[in-house]
Structure 1
Amino acid sequence: MNSAASSPAPITDRPANRMGRIAAILVASALVAAGSAIAATPAYAFAVSITQDGMTFEGDDIDPAAGATVTAYNPTAASGGTDAVIPSSVTISGDTYPVVTIGYAAFRDEGLTSVVIPSSVKVIGNSAFQANFLDSAVIPNSVTSIGDSAFNYNRLTTVTIGNSVETIGDDAFEDNDLETVVIPDSVTTIGEYAFYENSLTSVTLGSSLVTIEESAFEDNLLTSVTFPASISALNASAFRDNASLTDVVFLGAAPTTFAATGVDGSLGGSPSVLVHYGSAFADPAAAAGFTTPTWQGYNAVPNPIVTFDLSGRGVAIAPKEAVFRTAISAPIAPTAAGYTFSGWYTDAALTTLADFSTLITADTALFAGWSAVAATDAEPMLAETGSSAPLLPIGLLSAVLLAAGIALRRRAA
């Protein structure tokens, strides 16, 4: 992992054992970029370009609405130097083009310390900002894809990924100093080595994530990870070399693509990793489901259960399964004849009230507190017999006496 104070080395100075893979990525990226340009340009189209403020833009003279691509940058004092501000549109030959793409290696190895990406941009291409000195990046909500090696070999400590990004390419944020990252719900795929060799202590994975490729989060400082129900492919070494990783939570079914524990295990080779899962996704309840005490060679346990002890009063409340390290909501307050419910307690002696914001990490029993209802409607005693007699409401008693008086007058008449 990098030190935030260190400067990223030029591409040619990268460690030798990684140069082969980097070279292959760069060659492939160039071929893909060239092929895409050829395929996307009809025979009758004419590419036009302009360079302004140190940036070179290219577009199609037939279809300005399709937008322009930033293809190169010259960080001179007149252009903004190492603080690049990309415009949202550019005028080429009298036509206005929205800037929609940051092209292959457009800003690579140019010494950038900051960059502003406009909300017109939809695609950040391969190696677009590779090997600079960026310490932060904000990717707008308009962007749908982040290319291979787009921001690797910088010194990023923070990154904001927009909520329309669907794919994060191979090596996209490799070799930075990120400590936390939030993957938005729009992302479905995270590529190989995407966040390799950072300083991540926290990662939030979005609810649509399907695939995490090989070594995507290798060599970080993660202690826990929660996988969304959507995850189905968790490839080899995805979380290798996170020495402090202890708790892994799956919100859905076991992934169909997964490498068992070991040097290339999806969750690394640490014996301290504990997998938590929902009972609905256990084998045999679910085909190829999770198992206890181990699953795929990792220690594994079902989610904790919260039970409710009513001390024999009221209608029984079904136990609740709590996702590991989350809180549960309080059940509807129970009722019992002759008693008032006074709250839930964490002990049978009813000394400590339960706090429903507490995160549940183990099976938990809660106990209902009750207080007897005070007798407020005591009946009067008859003077001669000592027996109790119900008091009639004053209005009803008056009516009875009036009726009796009327009956007596009629007899007398």
Structure 2
Amino acid sequence: MHISRCPDVRPARWALGAAALVLLLPALATSAAAADTVDLDGVGYELRSPASPSLGAAATSYDPVGNDEHPAVTLPPSVTIDGRSVPVRAVGAGAFQDEGLEAVALPDGLTTIGNRAFEGNRLTELVLPPSVTGINGVRAFGGNALASIDLPGSMTHLGNSVFSENELTSIDLPAGLEYLGHGVFSDNALAQVDLPPALATMGQDVFQDNPTLGTIRFLGPAPEIIGGPENSPVARDDATTPRVEHLWRHGETSGLPQAFTWPTWYGLATEPLIEVDFVAGAATGAHLPESRLVPLDLGTPQDDAPWGTIVPDDAPPTPTAPGLLFAGWTTVGDDPSPWTYGQPLRADTTLSALWRDDSPRVAAIEVTASAARVDVGGTVTLAAEGFDAAGTSLGDVTDDTLFASDVATDVVAGDQVTFPTASSHTITGTHEASEARGSVVVEVVEVDEVDEVDGTDTADAPAGFVDDSGVSRGGTDGGDDGARPATTPVPTDTVAASSALPATGASPAVTVVVAVGTMLLGMALVLTARRAAAGRRA
């Protein structure tokens, strides 16, 4: 019996499965690729590393048709790819090249900008976020119309031709910028550029084709030049010939590996600058001028060294300090000396301010004494009042005044003078600060031991006793220092009349009344007696 076998269909099935898998592979690949990219407002984004989404996304393409804001474009800080939000970290090479853009807004968080990323557009201004610390992309913004660039303080390097072929007239470079590549600012319209102290390396022809460039100022040491001394870091074209300014301390005498030379550096005329600092000296709270960079431009190549100065017409504002007046400058160093505007300066210099007292100047003083006339052995207290040149009182200046007498035996102790001898004594006061002088005369008299009128001993006369001259001779209630209190002299005729009256103990006025009454009574008695006698005769 013949039994026939069915053919084995398993190989055919495997073949069909393999064929189906081959047909599905392109679709699977397309699906995987789609999962790593996204389009948003005309911009295509893709993961920088599908295996590491945390590295973020890069903008890699642009279609103006999908952007309602064209010719402006805004890149978001993050995009969603394959259901995950990832930061936008980069702009890929040529992503926006030649797309007619006039404005672009870049997000904080962006770190990388590729070759020719925005080349050939019509951008007029650019603000780079702080996250962009450098641009390595060749001609990343070349061939635009940029007139304004805001570089972040975090920027450390700019690559080759990054801003070439634009319309820049000025540029503010960050202090921490360390590297400038070949032709970074070539073909612009710059007038002056300050290169920061941190700049360490420069490429060739950084400022090529900037015929309006008049000055390049290096604020740090001479940088290393890529390509060696035969390649100019500034420009090789005949139209770009700026003056190179550099700090004097970074010149040939500095001993640095790279140093600026004078009078030329890489074929360009050089001008050393010295730094002039201003300090307050003895003043506190002073307002001082800011430091100056002074060009050493008054020498010739035949001189040992150039020199410069600050001319009076360009002098900084006058310093001020509380209670003081500025009196000039002096140099600081081993051999300080006065300095005025216009005098030569040959090296970095520190000038210290000189000051004088700002209080009103005493032009004259008036000296007074506590008594104009005293007994021998008496003491007076002196005072001095100051006056300015206009005669306005400046108040008491006794503490600032030295007193002296023209009589050698007088004892002067501060503002008090004691007189051992009788005569006219002239006391002179001298104001210490201004040397203004004033004087006063004090009469010193001998003490009369016996009163010449009645022989009464007046040495121990009571307070208020008045002698024939009308001057007080008695002691004072507060103790006798020999000084004579101010008194009103008593007329001598009144004194004589009162001394002829009986000693009644009454006051002089009462005594006079009694005397007049006695005289009238006597006259009345005489008149009565005469009338009585006449009556008897009759």
Name the TM tier (shorter chain). Answer: 0.5 to 0.7
Aligned residues: 304
Aligned match of 1:162: 129
Q: Percent identity?
A: 26
Cα RMSD for the two superposed structures: 4.6
Residue 96 of structure 1: which of 84, 103, 112 is its match?
Answer: 84
State the distance in 1 between where 2:67 and 2:282 align: 79
Whether 2:201 is the aligned partner of 1:214: answer no
Q: Is the 8 A contact 1:89 1:96 kept in 2?
A: no
State the distance in 2 between where 1:270 and 1:260 align: 22
Question: 3-state DSSP class of the match of 2:249?
Answer: helix
Within-5 A mapping of 1:397-408: 405=479
Question: 3-state DSSP class of the match of 1:387?
Answer: strand
Displacement of 1:242? 0.8
Q: Is the 8 A contact 2:97 2:118 kept in 1?
A: yes
Aligned match of 1:234: 202
State the distance in 1 between where 2:226 and 2:57 align: 41
Q: Is the 8 A contact 2:244 2:269 kept in 1?
A: yes
Residue 49 of structure 1: which of 36, 39, 47 is its match?
Answer: 36
Q: Is the 8 A contact 1:166 1:189 kept in 2?
A: yes
Deviations 1:258-280 (A, max 9, x none): 67999x63222457521111222
Displacement of 1:68? 3.6
Q: CA, structure 1 residues 256+324, in 2 after alignment: closer, same or farther (shift >3 Å)? A: farther
Displacement of 1:292? 2.2
Displacement of 1:129? 1.4
Displacement of 1:74? 3.8
Question: 3-state DSSP class of the match of 2:293?
Answer: coil
Residue 198 of structure 1: which of 163, 166, 171 is its match?
Answer: 166
Q: CA, structure 1 residues 275+407, in 2 after alignment: closer, same or farther (shift >3 Å)? A: same
Alignment TM-score, normalising by the size of structure 1: 0.59
Question: 3-state DSSP class of the match of 1:323?
Answer: strand
Displacement of 1:202? 0.4
Over alpha carbons, which structure has the higher Rg? Answer: 2
Residue 388 of structure 1: which of 428, 436, 440 is its match?
Answer: 428
Question: 3-state DSSP class of the match of 1:284?
Answer: helix
Aligned match of 2:251: 282
Q: CA, structure 1 residues 163+380, in 2 after alignment: closer, same or farther (shift >3 Å)? A: same
Q: Is the 8 A contact 2:221 2:250 kept in 1?
A: yes
State the distance in 2 between where 1:275 and 1:260 align: 18
State the distance in 2 between where 1:58 and 1:389 align: 95
Question: 3-state DSSP class of the match of 1:388?
Answer: strand
State the distance in 1 between where 2:113 and 2:106 align: 9
Q: Is the 8 A contact 1:214 1:236 kept in 2?
A: yes
Displacement of 1:218? 0.9
Aligned match of 2:509: none
* Structure 1: stretches of 5+ with no match in the other structure: 1-45, 101-120, 346-353, 355-362, 392-401, 409-413
Q: Is the 8 A contact 2:320 2:326 kept in 1?
A: no
Question: 3-state DSSP class of the match of 1:137?
Answer: strand
Aligned match of 2:362: 375
Residue 296 of structure 1: which of 237, 246, 266 is its match?
Answer: 266
Aligned match of 1:18: none
State the distance in 1 between where 2:151 and 2:81 align: 36
State the distance in 1 between where 2:74 and 2:251 align: 52
Whether 2:116 is the aligned partner of 1:149: answer yes
Within-5 A mapping of 1:301-316: 301-304=271-274, 306=276
Q: CA, structure 1 residues 333+289, in 2 after alignment: closer, same or farther (shift >3 Å)? A: farther
State the distance in 2 between where 1:78 and 1:235 align: 38
Aligned match of 1:244: 212
Q: Is the 8 A contact 1:64 1:97 kept in 2?
A: no
Within-5 A mapping of 1:36-75: 48-53=35-40, 54-59=42-47, 64-75=53-64
Q: CA, structure 1 residues 280+367, in 2 after alignment: closer, same or farther (shift >3 Å)? A: same
Q: Is the 8 A contact 2:94 2:117 kept in 1?
A: yes
State the distance in 2 between where 1:158 and 1:128 align: 19
Q: Is the 8 A contact 2:212 2:240 kept in 1?
A: no
